[in-house]
Amino acid sequence: MEKHQKYPYQHRDINWLSFNDRVLQEAADKSNPLYERLKFIAIFSSNLDEYFRVRVSQMRQLKRVDKSIRKKLALRPSKFVKQLLVKVKSQQEELGTIFFDHIVPELKDNNIHLLDLKTLKNNHLQLANEYYKTHLKKILHTDIVEASKSSDIFLENQHLYLLVTFQDEKKYGIVNIPSSETSRFIELKKEGDQHVITFLDDIIKANIEDIFPENIISNTYSIKLSRDAELYLDQEIDGTLADLIHKSLSQREVGQATRLLYDESMPKDVRKNVRKSLGLGKIDMVAGGTYHNFHDFFGFPNPTKNKELQAAPLKTIKHKVLEKESSYFEVIAKKDQLVHFPFMSFDYVQRFIDQASQDEQVEEIKISLYRVANESALTDALLRALKNGKKVTVFVEAKARFDEENNIKWGRIFEKHGARVIYSYPRIKVHSKVLLILRRENDKKKRYAYIGTGNFNAKTSKNYCDHGLFTADKKITKDLLRTFKVLQGDLIIPRASSLLISPFTTRSTFESLIRQEIEHSKNGKGGYITAKMNQLEDRGMIHLLYQASQAGVHIRLIVRGFSSLVPQLKGISENIEITSIVDRFLEHGRIYKFHNAGDPIMYTGSADWMSRNLDRRIEVLTPINDPDIYAELDDILDLQLRDNVKARIHTPQENNPMVQAKDGEKKIRSQEEIYKYLEQKHS
């Protein structure tokens, strides 16, 4: 826990690991279907890989700062990384216990035998050898490395390898595990209703003598190297920022090593040799289990076809208004409409754009795209609009991490078909999820908007809990038009009167609203703040929340991920309660509600209370003006606040205790209750 002036702050990177603890809790929860638990194991692994590639790599960059400056700023990156590694090691041990002691036996109970090299029987080994000869031998790549010298051997980012030790200790071998070219999990045999599956790794281990025929094998160990995911764009280049990013993407695959994950059974002298060969420091070496890349369990097969092992497919709810209407323009002109993913289909958003692409009265479409789907009805509709002569402006965020290449690809496709495409600005990201349609009605341009909390991506909408507002509100759409003019370079400041737009008005408005609650509390009018977000990190906002708590304002937060605010501290934050919901779908929506002396104010949109969202990104949050829409979001927020099945409590100890239902209290699993609520409301 850090201290800033008199207030405590959790370090975001330490608290992020607490979020991954919550993911592990779901992997261990036997009330979840077995394959859902495997999914959470995959999520944990994927999260941790990104953590090392992004967060740990950024801390390592601090080592480049002059030591005297680091000392003045109290920056001790190596010490901090060591502290993180202790926590990570504990989590990985827990993961191993959950997987090997619980999930593997439960798979066996359901006729799925996941066997390793030690438990494969002779007939299974014969099948493994046949698979090796038929499918693997031709795609394996091997290297021999001198044991005690630096080497120019290159390990690809996030790829799996086996390090092979020989009786001749002066050298060792490296062989790839080609899981990107074939399945990681191979079904060797079906015996009646019993299914035998093994890791690709073990098939290669079983044939290691054939791979290195001139050497006497001592042992094999799994290794994986993670590399810095940041793109360093400080060099000059002719062309656009998008060109620079596109040319720099290869850096990510050859970037500085941030972690070598190795089998913890690897002897010390072998680890030392590997470290020398790869030019790594001691802090880069992270012990792990026999198998790495557990994110491959996203694709673990279910050969039994037993539906009980997986979560039941979600039957999408049909929006009672949008489902029946052939013209969304007529509906939205009369009244705001709200959609919720994944409980409803993303088709409503795609259909809106498709209608605009074919509507003779529509003149312009403007949209901001943060993570573009590879191919979708949305991209098809935008291309159709261009073909039909509509003026289309697309802002493509070329710096959306891990989606840069696909985003730039689609930007160039839109450009080729006649769209005006605007790419990233050098020091600011466009994270807003907004759409504006200009339609000629009675010789005037009428504006229609969509403002969401999630990306314009049909695939992620099936797994992320998000909200989206369709509106023709004059003030909101006027502000949104000004926002697009800022993106287009036609305005410097949007001068918004209704929307919150970062980095212009979001911070100042939220600060003003918190201070207003403080005044209401002091004046006996009651002060209440309720907010749901993904992350809470900005120190200015946290400082104000502490002040509000001390003034008697009751603050109830739902923060899915990390939070730097320390709740429930006497004299500082005893009026602040924070819970986190981790369930089948990723909670991604943001809702901010201020009591306002009985006349509540609510916003929803793309921004968390993080410094980057408030000061270094273009974000858009919309007020909820329609009373019916307000009531619907408020009901959903209330169900999430009352979750006592999948909600955890943020505590100063960061131990993630579950919210417990009180005696006689109804159990509320908010995602299921929200589904029922929407199903009834839209029936």
Give the pLDDT confidence of 623-633 residue by residue, as tens digits.
Answer: 999 999 999 99
Q: How high is the pLDDT of residue 234?
A: 46
Residue 401 annotated as binding site: yes
Q: How high is the pLDDT of residue 86?
A: 87
Quote the tokens at residue 374: 């590879």
The dihedral over CA atoms of 531, 537, 543, 547, expressed in degrees to the nearest 10, equals 30
101-128 per-position pLDDT tens digit: 999 999 999 999 999 999 988 889 999 9
Domain locations along the chain = 1-110, 124-229+257-300, 328-493, 502-681
If you average pLDDT over residues 330-345, what whole number do you get? Answer: 97
For 17-82, give the secondary structure using H, E and C.
HHHHHHHHHHHHCCCCCHHHHHHHHHHHHHHHHHHHHHHHHHHHHHHHCCHHHHHHCCCCHHHHHH
What pairing do the DSSP bridges indicate for beta strands 617-623 and 420-422?
unpaired
Quote the tokens at residue 56: 């740990």
Q: How high is the pLDDT of residue 70?
A: 43
Residue 231: closest CA among 209, 254, 210? 254
Q: Domain 124-229+257-300 is classified in which CATH homologous superfamily? A: Polyphosphate kinase middle domain (3.30.1840.10)
If you average pLDDT over residues 447-459, what whole number do you get? Answer: 95
Residue 560 annotated as binding site: yes
Quote the Cα angle for 453-591-573, to 5°: 135
pLDDT class for 163, splitting at 50, 70, 90?
very high
- Which SS3 state, helix, strand or coil, does residue 338 take? strand
Residue 231 has pLDDT above 70, yes or no: no
Q: How high is the pLDDT of residue 398?
A: 63
Q: How many CB atoms lie within 10 A of CB 632?
A: 18
Q: How far apart are CA 124 and CA 117, in angstroms?
A: 10
Q: How high is the pLDDT of residue 259?
A: 83
Task: Calculate helix-pair angle for 539-550, 506-522, nearest 10 degrees.
Answer: 10
Check 113, 431, 520, 650 and give the catalytic one. Answer: 431
Q: How far apart are CA 548 and CA 543, in angstroms?
A: 9
Has 431 been annotated as catalytic?
yes
Residue 166: closest CA among 301, 65, 270, 300? 270
DSSP 407-426: HHHHHHHHHHTT-EEE--BT
Please compute, for residue 101, the number of CA atoms within 13 A of its CA located in the half-sphere on the CB side.
7
124-157 per-position pLDDT tens digit: 999 999 999 999 999 999 999 988 777 878 888 8
pLDDT class for 58, splitting at 50, 70, 90?
low
Please compute, for residue 196, the number of CA atoms within 13 A of its CA located in the half-sphere on the CB side.
18
If you average pLDDT over residues 405-412, what whole number do you get? Answer: 78
Helix or strand run (H / E) with residue 145: strand 142-146
Quote the Cα angle for 518-520-522, to 5°: 70
Is there a shared CATH topology between the 328-493 domain and the 502-681 domain?
yes
Q: How high is the pLDDT of residue 150?
A: 79
Which of the given ranges, 4-18, 255-269, 495-509, has the highest pLDDT on average?
A: 495-509
Phi first, then psi: give them for residue 79, nearest 5 degrees: -60, -40
What pairing do the DSSP bridges indicate for beta strands 528-533 and 601-605?
unpaired
Q: How high is the pLDDT of residue 232?
A: 45
Q: How high is the pLDDT of residue 65?
A: 46
If you average pLDDT over residues 544-572, what whole number do you get? Answer: 96
Q: How high is the pLDDT of residue 505?
A: 97
Residue 249 has pLDDT above 60, yes or no: no
Residue 12: closest CA among 529, 429, 539? 539
Tokens 């993570």, located at residue: 371
pLDDT class for 233, splitting at 50, 70, 90?
very low
Q: How far apart are CA 431 and CA 429, in angstroms?
A: 6
Residue 59 has pLDDT above 70, yes or no: no
CATH class of 328-493: alpha beta
How far from the centroid of its chain's Cα atoms is residue 629's Cα?
27
73-111 per-position pLDDT tens digit: 444 566 777 888 888 889 999 999 999 999 999 999 999
Q: How far apart are CA 163 and CA 271, in angstroms?
A: 10
Kindly state the greatest CA–CA separation across the chain.
86
104 burial type by CB count under 10 A (0-12 exposed, 13-18 middle, 19+ buried): middle
In this predicted model, which residue has the larger pLDDT, 615 or 283?
615
20-54 per-position pLDDT tens digit: 999 999 999 999 999 999 999 999 999 888 888 77
Q: How high is the pLDDT of residue 238?
A: 42
Contact 175, 204 (CB under 8 A): yes
Q: How high is the pLDDT of residue 158?
A: 84
Query: Per DSSP, what are the bridge partners of residue 314?
Result: none
Asked if the 1-110 domain carries CATH number 1.20.1530.20, the reply is no
How far lies 69's CA from each of 72, 74, 554, in Å? 5, 8, 41
Domain topology for 502-681: Endonuclease; Chain A (3.30.870)
Residue 241 has pLDDT above 60, yes or no: no
Q: How high is the pLDDT of residue 619?
A: 95
Q: Taking the CA atoms of 540, 17, 588 and 671 in sequence, report the sign of the dihedral they define.
A: negative
In this predicted model, which residue has the larger pLDDT, 402 or 348?
348
Residue 464 annotated as binding site: yes
